[in-house]
Structure 1
Amino acid sequence: MKIDRIHHVAYRCKDAKETVLWYQKMLNMDFVLAIAEDLVPSTKEPDPYMHIFLDAGNGNVLAFFELPTKPEMGRDPNTPVWVQHIAFRVKDRAELLEYKAHLEANGVEVLGVTDHGAFHSIYFFDPNGHRLELACPDPDEANMLKRMDEVKWDMLEEWSQTKRAPKHAAFFHKREFEEQQA
């Protein structure tokens, strides 16, 4: 057995229409499907919902649920805001910078560009408070990922024993830290 791919990823939203319009305008995603029911199909729980689906490219689908009868959505207070996020890949750095300019021109606060070695990213929030990342490959992506692959098991084992960041892949963010020091 082997998973073929992710069918869709679903999150909660505050307002389904606002969410669709935001993702269309800010990230150029197409609205592909809406499902609304008064009963949850899997549990038969009476709970009206709107379930929307957006095309995130290459067969990837991002979905949201609006749940008007539930308490206002929030975040896990024990998880830092930077941890839970959705990352999307864009073609190259030029497109990443084009998105950054587009988002900022539309009033979205953007963090970055952050150099992660194999890729470069920007970060921002959607109107529901979900952190999003756009990432583009670094010209040296293949080499960096190969080097990371070579140390992944050693890193995982050391982490599981010590709960301290192993230094096997210190090269990964080296450029970013060097630029901050300069």
Structure 2
Amino acid sequence: MSQKIRKLQVQGVHHITLVGADRQTSIDFWEGVLGMPFIFDQPNLDDPSQGHLYFDPGDGRLITIFTSEDRKPDRRRTPTDPGCVHHIAFSISQATFWQVVERLDARGIKHSGPKDRGFMDSIYFSDPLGLTIELASYRFEPPEGCRHADVMIEAHRIRVARGDNHIQREHLADAIELLVERTQQSLSTSRTAADPYRN
């Protein structure tokens, strides 16, 4: 008798662990460049010869780094073979996004410059070990009670229905309007657009 196949439902990213170089390089990059508080420090419980540093990226999740004083930074690009990490993206505000170029330039860190992604702005650069880091800033805030993912799926549906190539601001605005209508009540008999300036 075969058993029913069932999902293992995840509910978010718990943490991401990266293999780092020495301890100080990790602290200087993750806290000293990206501003992530260094919150926890212990040995790697699977290999006590390594350290295990924990950083808070701002949402209460964790970025952890295995460190060893025997490893030195190597700025060559990390592998992008199948199964490897291509890049890690971190969320930043629009206020911070528009300071990134100036602040990376002040450190002499090469970067991509701002990239228009339609629904967000992005900039890319490498950590001291060659891992590509993306700083991403959404161009919208979801309606109360909704998540960014809720807006994205609705914007995607709108984009596909219109035959557009990729999500743009108009798709986002229309998705937000749809979600507000769907999730927030109104006493109006009609929620269609109206013109109060007509003669």
Which range, TM-score by smaller chain? 0.5 to 0.7
Superposed CA RMSD in Å reads: 3.6
CA contact (8 A) 1:148 1:169 kept: no
Is the partner of 1:53 in helix, strand or coil?
strand
Which residue is equivalent to 2:79?
Answer: 76
Name which structure has the greater RCO, CA cutoff 8 Å, separation 6+: 1
Distance 1:24 1:150 in 2: 39
Cα offsets for 1:48-90 (capped at 9, x unmatched): 11111111011121111124678x98833646x9x71110111
**Greater fraction of residues in strand:** 1
Q: TM-score, normalised by structure 1?
A: 0.67
Q: Deviations over 1:126-177 (max 9, x none)?
A: 111111000111249879722325678xxxxxxxxxxxxxxx651337xxxx
**Which moves more between the two structures, 98-107 or 119-128?**
98-107
1:125 and 1:131 in contact (8 A); partners too: yes
Q: Structure 1: give runs of 5+ residues left out of the alignment.
A: 41-45, 153-167, 174-182
Higher-Rg structure is 2
**Aligned counterparts of 1:6 and 1:144: Cα–Cα separation in 2:** 20
* 1:100 positional shift: 2.5
Q: Which stretches of structure 1, 4 residues or longer, exceed 6 Å deviation after superposition?
A: 140-144
Q: How many residue pairs get matched?
A: 152
Paired AA for residue 33 in structure 1: F
List gaps (5 residues or longer) in structure 2: 1-7, 143-147, 169-199
Give the TM-score of the pair, scaled to structure 2.
0.62
Q: Give matches, 1:43-122, under 5 Å.
A: 48-67=49-68, 75-76=78-79, 78=81, 84-92=86-94, 94-122=95-123
Of 5, 9, 30, 1:2 maps to 9
- What amino acid is aligned across from residue 20 of structure 2 in structure 1? C
